[in-house]
Structure 1
Amino acid sequence: MPFADIALSQILVLVVGLLAAGAVTGLLAGVFGVGGGAIVVPVLYELFRFQGVPEDIRMPLAVGTSLAVIIPTSIRSFRAHQRKGAVDMSILRMWALPVVVGVIGGSFVARYAPADLFKAVFVVVAGVSSIRLLFGRDSWRFGTEMPGGAVMKIYGLIIGVLSSLMGIGGGQLSNLFMTFYGRPIHQAVATSSGLGVLISIPGAVGYVYAGWPHMGELPPFSLGYVSLIGMALLIPTSIIAAPLGVAVAHRLSKAWLEKLFGIFLLLVCLRFLVGIIS
């Protein structure tokens, strides 16, 4: 759709929606150790629908833009958690290479995948995560110690692929994984914030590549499957709100943090399940 043909009301809705989504993204990045993609992707999807972006490219455009927005948000969130000494750097070092390889692989898949694949990944991952957080017990564990190198690298690869397809910073998946091995939720949240840095940069570049063949169909000021307008409006408010989210996270109890995160993920899961069915 040519930019000149977009009504003023549509532009205002887009601007207000993106600024608000950016603030929520930064808050969630700090509170839950996620890049905020789980809220940004649904919001961008609806805003792009309002703009008249074609259905088959709407979801990957939302995912790619989300990954680009996560870059500064995750860096700011990670630094804030690191200053509090809550990040397990040994896990991040072990996951670094397999996560990046997984993200690159997921970006290649995104070039050819149908829109419903992105939604399906959202539903499965958000559903499992919310069940674990809302109804799980301490006895629901894979073990009491983190696994060895080979298993950890496989987990890292899976986290990278799924995060790339979801447009998230990996926090949902790594939080789930670490708590299944008995790690405290606060440490899982803090460590997960570092994954956003590893995932978002190669992920955003990959989605520029994936969307390049569709440049003629994309909205104005898009670079592949990354909306530059979306980045410009989402990033400032998300950066401002991220430290506030970190402060909230370290004041909440373990039980409240898990319940809030579980409810949040369940809502995201239901939203995309409705989209797939309809």
Structure 2
Amino acid sequence: MTLLLIYAAVGALAGLIAGLFGLGGGVIMVPAMIYTFSALGMPTDVLTHMAVGTSLMAIVVTSISSVRTHHSKGAVDWPLAMTIVPGILIGSWLGGKTAAAMAGLHLQMAFGGFAIFVAILMLRPAPADRASLPGRPGRVLAGGIIGWASALFGIGGGSLSVPFFSFCGVVMQRAVATSAALGLPIAIVGAATFMWQGWGQAALPEWTTGYVYWPAFLGMVVCSAPMAKVGAQLAHRLPAALLKRGFAVFLMLVGAQLLVSGMIKAG
């Protein structure tokens, strides 16, 4: 019961962040599960893969709630999203396969480095001279890169797609809403790939399907979906610059801790 409450609290925070920043919530859920699984004594070889796979499954639920709210406000650029989805699908599948081929500690260190990278992106001001959106081939390529990294690290894609859209001159609210829409196919394909890649792993605990750990999933989605709706509503009401900087600093500290601890264990 205590663990379910912990996962519920993590899900609430992750859902709020997902709706507010279009980040998918994985940047909160994955580190929280790594810490929790480690404290429970789960095998190092699989705990990070379980954290990523379970995060992607939870993001399926979070994304649906977030996208519905953004769509109701007319903020999702569906024609733009549809041109990027083919790359997203291929990239998400490749990202899941890449993660499955990595050792657990290496995946943890990679996530730590990625978290620091995302924090730096969030702290940087938007460029004064913005590019225009690329043509269809460029959008498919961008989608492939976003999908690959997002599935690899168990995030919804907004950590990369929001800066990409912003750089290309898309209005921030529309960038966040469209990124939330892209998070759904990333999560579906990524979670399915992690299930398949982890199928039959001897080191996995009970209540798993591949690398998806259902107790953590259930605890998180109870609160993540409704809080994603709240976050999406706040995104249209609040100037979130100060909150965004504070979250970026927190994310940088978490990323540094995961990176350093992984290096120490690997050494």
* Fold match by TM threshold 0.5: yes
In the alignment, does 2:262 pair up with 1:276? yes
Report if aligned partners of 1:32, 1:261 keep a CA contact under 8 Å in 2.
no
Where does the alignment leave 5 or more consecutive residues of structure 1 unmatched? 1-11
Structure 1 residues 63-72 or 250-259, which shifts more? Answer: 250-259
Kindly tell me: are residues 179 and 124 of structure 1, through their superposed partners in 2, closer, same or farther at Cα, counting changes over 3 Å?
farther
2:56 corresponds in structure 1 to 67
Kindly tell me: are residues 88 and 263 of structure 1, through their superposed partners in 2, closer, same or farther at Cα, counting changes over 3 Å?
farther
Q: Give the number of aligned pairs.
A: 264
Kindly tell me: are residues 125 and 52 of structure 1, through their superposed partners in 2, closer, same or farther at Cα, counting changes over 3 Å?
closer
Q: Which amino acid aligns with 1:277?
A: M
In the alignment, does 2:175 pair up with 1:208? no
- 2:224 is aligned, of 234, 238, 254, to 238
For normalisation by structure 2, the TM-score amounts to 0.91
Report if aligned partners of 2:113, 2:256 keep a CA contact under 8 Å in 1.
no
In 2, the alpha carbon distance for the partners of 1:112 and 1:132 equals 28
Kindly tell me: are residues 134 and 260 of structure 1, through their superposed partners in 2, closer, same or farther at Cα, counting changes over 3 Å?
same
- 2:160 is aligned, of 151, 162, 173, to 173
- 1:221 is aligned, of 194, 207, 220, to 207
For normalisation by structure 1, the TM-score amounts to 0.88
Cα deviations by residue, 1:62-89 (Å, 9 ceiling, x for unpaired): 0000001111110110110111111111
In 2, the alpha carbon distance for the partners of 1:37 and 1:125 equals 12
Report if aligned partners of 1:207, 1:224 keep a CA contact under 8 Å in 2.
yes
Q: How far did residue 261 of structure 1 move?
A: 5.0
Q: Which amino acid aligns with 2:111?
A: F
In 1, the alpha carbon distance for the partners of 2:170 and 2:102 equals 35
Superposed, which structure 2 residues align to 1:77-226 within 5 Å?
Answer: 77-139=66-128, 143-214=130-201, 216-226=202-212
Superposed, which structure 2 residues align to 1:1-16 within 5 Å?
Answer: 12-16=1-5
In 2, the alpha carbon distance for the partners of 1:100 and 1:55 equals 29
Identity over the aligned pairs, expressed in percent? 37
Alignment RMSD: 1.9
Q: How far did residue 23 of structure 1 move?
A: 0.8
Q: Which amino acid aligns with 1:83?
A: S
Q: Which amino acid aligns with 2:13?
A: V
Q: How far did residue 17 of structure 1 move?
A: 1.3
Kindly tell me: are residues 260 and 150 of structure 1, through their superposed partners in 2, closer, same or farther at Cα, counting changes over 3 Å?
farther
In the alignment, does 2:6 pair up with 1:33? no
In 2, the alpha carbon distance for the partners of 1:19 and 1:95 equals 32
2:239 corresponds in structure 1 to 253
- Give the SS at the match of 1:213: coil
Report if aligned partners of 2:23, 2:155 keep a CA contact under 8 Å in 1.
yes
In 1, the alpha carbon distance for the partners of 2:102 and 2:50 equals 12
Report if aligned partners of 1:204, 1:226 keep a CA contact under 8 Å in 2.
yes
